[in-house]
Structure 1
Amino acid sequence: MKKRFALYAAVALSLGAILPALAQQSPAPGAQKGLGSLFASPKPDELIEPDLAFKLKVAVKGPNALQAELLPAPGYYLYKDKIRFALKDANGVAISAIKLPPGEMKVDQIFGKTEVYRKAVPVELTLNRSGKTSKITLTASYQGCHEKLGVCYPPIEKTINLTLPQ
């Protein structure tokens, strides 16, 4: 945990020193393209943006069912026990069950023996509806790491507005 915190702190300090200097200078031709691809490199030994490292898709599958899919990029994994779903502003709609597939066991230097996902994770969410509300807001949170570099991303939280059929 201390190693990861130190890494986050070092990155934050580096960016804190670099960004103000960049803001005061005019970018050289082509520099914006170089900066924009800082985290977007597809090379297996480099970090990518969290939204590219861990993609989330959600679909309504019926009046009482949602299907989510979490997809870690190649070389990344998600912690099973860090995946959570909740509803906001749901007025009479609640999640009654969340079904995750079994993961792979991994011995993590921070969390010890834990389940992870290295491939697409289909998630079935069953809803309990006691009212006529059709508009809901789903919140998904998850956390994962880069396998080879051992760098873990902070927890990610996504909010998705959905309309349920009656």
Structure 2
Amino acid sequence: MANTYSQCYMHLIFAVRNRDALILDSWSSELEKYITGIVQDEGHKLIAIGTAHDHIHIFIGYNTIKSIPKLVEQIKTSSNNWIKQRKLSPFKFSWQNGYGCFSHSHSQIDSVAKYVLTQREHHKKKSFKDEYLSILNKNDMAFEERYLFDFFEGVSL
């Protein structure tokens, strides 16, 4: 439609099932490139992507005519199959149900991108559980703990 403008930035977060630390350094950059292709093929602009051993952050310029749930489903299904076909994990790999999706303003692009790109370093100091709860609280998100990702205490990375 003529004279229609939109600008949305979305930060997606989801975890490996059971929070298993299955995303290895040896292939995490390949996974990030693969997911970048999915995001771009779906008409979004990838701004930053960062994997930790047990979860992933994806920061996009969101194409508002597309559906976030469909994008997340496409990313999870395709990347899960990609990992299995290449036998990258000696253990059964799959993503947990659910995801987080948080909007950001244009003025936050640089800081959010830097945060996403430094996930491995960030998680040397802060657990994924603490990080995720902090993000939910900063965004005043109402949530029930029983519906959050499976957070297992003592999971080592």
Which protein is richer in strand relative to its size?
1
Say which one has the larger Rg: 1
More helix by share: 2
- TM-score > 0.5, shorter chain as reference: no
Q: TM-score range by the shorter chain?
A: under 0.3
